[in-house]
Structures are given as structure tokens and as C-alpha cells.
């Protein structure tokens, strides 16, 4: 082997070694997805068992987003039933507690999604109450009459600083992370005639007058509160409600993103199905791309 060839070979070896060394020094890039059942994906197959009680799907929107972004690891502590308190404390689920979700955020975390706040205002219990009350007054607004606008306004006001506290805790633990706070997708139709309501009522038993109230006085204000807290904290907000319009629980089983009380797809009642998770993942990915998050 002549000197020129040896010199070139040595140069290549050194270059490869330097490149490998630099790659080895690159810090890990972790994505952490904090959230409740609208993040976890209860009953959507396949379900994870870490722990089983969180009803966390391998096809929830974070699991669909993760392969699209430039990260080395995805950590998903989301858990069905979680509220903002469960971000900081163990959540009692079977067969054992889900560790505080914030524990998964550390100095290696470069990307975080947060989908929390609905359980802080009792959104699921409100929907359950509305379903029960509709039996006695299907054409009225019995749920609104019982719960009242004042109660909802107070619950939103109480939840706002808790949502903000979650965001600030993530920022403190991972100061270099890009944070995206994710809203809740459309559950109820934007408009509905009497015949459309009557056709939907058997599977989504909510009184005619309560449909608009739940949509305009509970769901949209919830998203507005979450968006306000995200923007005030200087992080991104992802609108999944707008893209979900026309995919509400009253649309056909092949169109809807969210299942009614009597599901037609494998998912928990009044929760996103697999199609809904795909739609939410697309909205999150679009927001990340627009914000300059590196993609694969």
C-alpha cells in the first residue's frame, strides 16, 4: 500500500471516529406526553399494562406523533381519569399507582405535549349528569338548569391556575423543551335540527337544549381557558376542536372521532376512537411542524 493510499485511509478513519464521537456526545432527545384519558386512549387496541388501570393505548395520539418527530425516546405517563393533581402525585389506579406524570420530565426532555384540565372541571361527570337528566326532560335543558352557568364558570376559574401550574412545572424541569398544550376535540355537533337530534339521541342521550349548552358553555370555554393558560405561559396551544368539527359523536361510525354513549367503534364512551387519535395526531404534528420542531 503506497503512502498516498495510507494517508487517505487514515484520514477517512479519523473522520469516521470524530463523527462517531460527536454522535455519542449528542444529548438524548426525549418526548414526554402528559395527559388524561383524551391523551391515553381508553379501550383503543392495543392497551398497555404499565399500569393496566391507566387504559393507555399504543395508538393514542402521542404514540402516533412520536415516530414523526426527531427524538430518541418517547415516554407516555398519560392516564385515564387524571387531573392536574395527578401530574404531581401518584394516581391510584389498579393494579398499582401511576407515578406522578411530571417525574418523566427531566433535563433530557426536548418535547412535551400536555392534555389536561377536563377532569378538573368534572367534564365526565357533567356529561353523565346530562345523560341522566335527559330521561325526564328530553326536549328541555335539565342539565343546565341543575348545574348552572355560575357553577361551570367557577370550576373553570378554579382549574385555570392548576393548568398553568402544570405548564410551569414542565418549563422548570425541562427549560429547553418545546411544549404543546393540546385542547379537546369536538364531541357535539356545531348545529343540529330537531330530526338530527332525534336520530342521535338514542346513542347520545342528551336533552335537546343541553346539547348547545354543553358545547358552548362548557366544552368551548374549557378549551378557551386551556388556550389562555398556554399562551400566557409562552407555550404553544394545539386546536383539535376545529379539525374535529364534522367528526362529532352524532356522525356515522366511519366518520366520527369521538364515540357516543353507545359506541360503534372500540373506544370508551364520549372519548376519541382510533380515527380521532389519528386526527389529533395530525393536528399536533402540524402545530409542531409550523413551530419548527425537527421532523424525521
Catalytic residues: 37, 271
How far is the C-alpha of 149 from the C-alpha of 143, rounded, in Å?
10
**Structural contact between residues 138 and 207, judged by C-beta atoms closer than 8 angstroms:** yes
Peptide bond into 215 cis (omega under 30): no
How far is the C-alpha of 238 from the C-alpha of 275, rounded, in Å?
18
Q: What Cα–Cα distance (Å) separates residue 66 from each residue in 30, 56, 185, 210, 283? A: 10, 15, 20, 37, 13
Determine which helix (DSSP H) or strand (DSSP E) holds 113, and give its type and residue range: strand 109-115
Peptide bond into 221 cis (omega under 30): no
Geometric angle at alpha carbon 189, from 118 and 280, rounded to 5°: 55
**Structural contact between residues 81 and 52, judged by C-beta atoms closer than 8 angstroms:** no
Peptide bond into 177 cis (omega under 30): no
How far is the C-alpha of 42 from the C-alpha of 76, rounded, in Å?
14
SS3 236: strand
Q: Are strands 178-182 and 73-75 parallel, antiparallel or unpaired?
A: unpaired
**Structural contact between residues 295 and 70, judged by C-beta atoms closer than 8 angstroms:** yes
Q: Count the residues in the chain.
A: 296
What residues are paired with 182 via a beta bridge? Answer: 238
Amino acid at each position: 500500500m503506497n503512502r498516498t493510499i495510507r494517508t487517505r485511509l487514515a484520514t477517512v478513519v479519523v473522520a469516521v471516529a470524530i463523527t462517531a464521537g460527536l454522535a455519542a456526545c449528542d444529548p438524548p432527545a426525549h418526548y414526554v406526553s402528559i395527559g388524561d384519558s383524551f391523551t391515553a386512549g381508553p379501550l383503543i387496541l392495543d392497551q398497555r399494562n404499565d399500569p393496566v388501570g391507566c387504559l393507555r393505548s399504543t395508538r393514542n395520539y402521542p404514540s402516533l406523533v412520536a415516530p414523526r418527530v426527531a427524538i430518541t425516546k418517547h415516554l407516555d405517563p398519560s392516564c385515564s381519569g387524571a387531573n392536574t393533581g395527578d401530574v404531581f402525585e401518584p394516581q391510584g389506579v389498579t393494579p398499582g399507582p401511576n407515578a406522578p406524570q411530571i417525574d418523566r420530565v427531566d433535563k433530557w426532555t426536548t418535547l412535551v405535549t400536555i392534555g389536561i384540565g377536563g377532569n378538573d372541571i368534572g367534564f365526565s361527570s357533567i356529561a353523565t349528569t346530562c345523560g341522566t337528566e335527559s330521561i325526564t326532560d328530553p326536549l328541555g335543558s335539565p342539565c343546565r338548569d341543575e348545574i348552572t352557568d355560575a357553577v361551570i364558570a367557577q370550576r373553570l376559574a378554579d382549574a385555570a391556575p392548576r393548568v398553568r401550574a402544570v405548564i410551569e412545572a414542565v418549563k422548570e424541569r425541562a427549560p429547553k423543551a418545546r411544549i404543546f398544550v393540546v385542547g379537546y376535540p369536538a364531541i357535539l355537533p356545531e348545529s343540529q335540527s330537531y330530526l338530527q337530534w332525534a336520530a342521535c339521541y338514542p346513542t347520545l342521550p342528551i336533552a335537546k337544549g343541553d346539547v348547545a349548552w354543553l358545547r358552548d358553555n362548557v366544552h368551548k370555554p374549557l378549551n378557551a381557558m386551556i388556550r389562555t393558560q398556554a399562551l400566557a405561559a409562552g407555550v404553544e396551544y394545539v386546536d383539535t376542536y376545529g379539525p374535529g368539527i364534522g367528526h362529532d359523536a352524532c356522525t356515522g361510525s366511519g366518520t366520527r372521532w369521538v364515540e357516543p354513549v353507545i359506541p360503534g367503534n372500540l373506544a370508551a364512551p364520549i372519548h376519541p376512537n382510533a380515527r380521532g387519535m389519528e386526527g389529533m395526531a395530525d393536528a399536533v404534528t402540524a402545530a409542531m411542524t409550523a413551530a419548527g420542531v425537527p421532523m424525521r
